[in-house]
Amino acid sequence: MAQAPTPLSAAQRAKVRRLSEPQELAPDEEGGELNIVPFLDIIVNILIFMLATIAVTFTATIDTTPPASRSAGVRAKVKSEALNLTVLIVNDGFSIKASGGNVAPGCQGVGAGIAIPKKNGKYDYAALNKCAAKLKGSNPDYADETQVYLSANPGTDYQTIISVIDAVRATPKGTALFDDVNFKVPR
């Protein structure tokens, strides 16, 4: 007959309890962890603020070269059959000149007048864009031409100039038109 194992005595049970208790950290060991939660809060706040701020200040640059003098017309590198497009910003709208002569009002053929007159007192950038696309597509020789000359009345503001550069750069679908801008000195 198997004998029942001897149970632990009271002293042995007490010793087991004492030895198996989790060891408490000494007071100096407890203070070793630095509380970085407030610091973390500040970092997260700054991070969110900066991410929110930079989202509204994206900038870009438009590349250009020194302005051509009054007498300089076609540059030497331009082929004789080039379109040689010039956009002149005047008070009444956009006057456009090409190698064939002055573009007539409505961007229809050659003739005197303002090619793209103002619409409701505002410059018509959409019509300028269409006219630039039409002129570029009028001859296969113009397909590789990217430069456009830009001149304006002395009082024309910078925003209008940038908007004209945008209008002649590409079509709304993204087809490149004239992205090489050269400024001309106003008379």
Q: Which residues are at the interface with other proteins (CB under 8 A)? A: 5-12, 15-17, 19-22, 33, 36-37, 39-40, 43-44, 46-47, 50-51, 54, 57-67, 89, 125, 152-159, 161-163, 165-166, 169, 183, 185-186
Residue 144: CB minimum distance to other proteins, A: 21
Compute the least distance from the CB of residue 172 to other proteins, in Å.
Answer: 10
- Complex with other proteins: residue 2 or 36, whichever CB lies closer: 36
Q: Token match 């630039």: residue?
A: 132
User: Smaller CB distance to other proteins: residue 37 or 143?
Assistant: 37
Give the nearer residue to other proteins in terms of CB position, either 1 or 55: 55
In the complex, least distance from residue 160 CB atom to other proteins, rounded to whole angstroms: 8
C-beta of 140 vs 155, nearer to other proteins: 155
Q: Which of 151, 165, 147, 155 is nearest to 61 (CA)?
A: 165
Place of tokens 């900066």: 50
State how far the Cα of 44 lies from the Cα of 93, in Å rounded to an integer: 51
**Amino acid in position 24:** E
Least spacing, CB of residue 84 vs other proteins, in Å: 20
Angle between helices 158-169 and 125-136 (to 10 degrees): 40
Q: What's the min distance (Å) between Cβ of 44 and other proteins? A: 7
Q: Which residues contact 176 (CB under 8 A, 6 or more apart)?
A: 146, 169, 170
53/160 Cα distance (integer angstroms) = 27
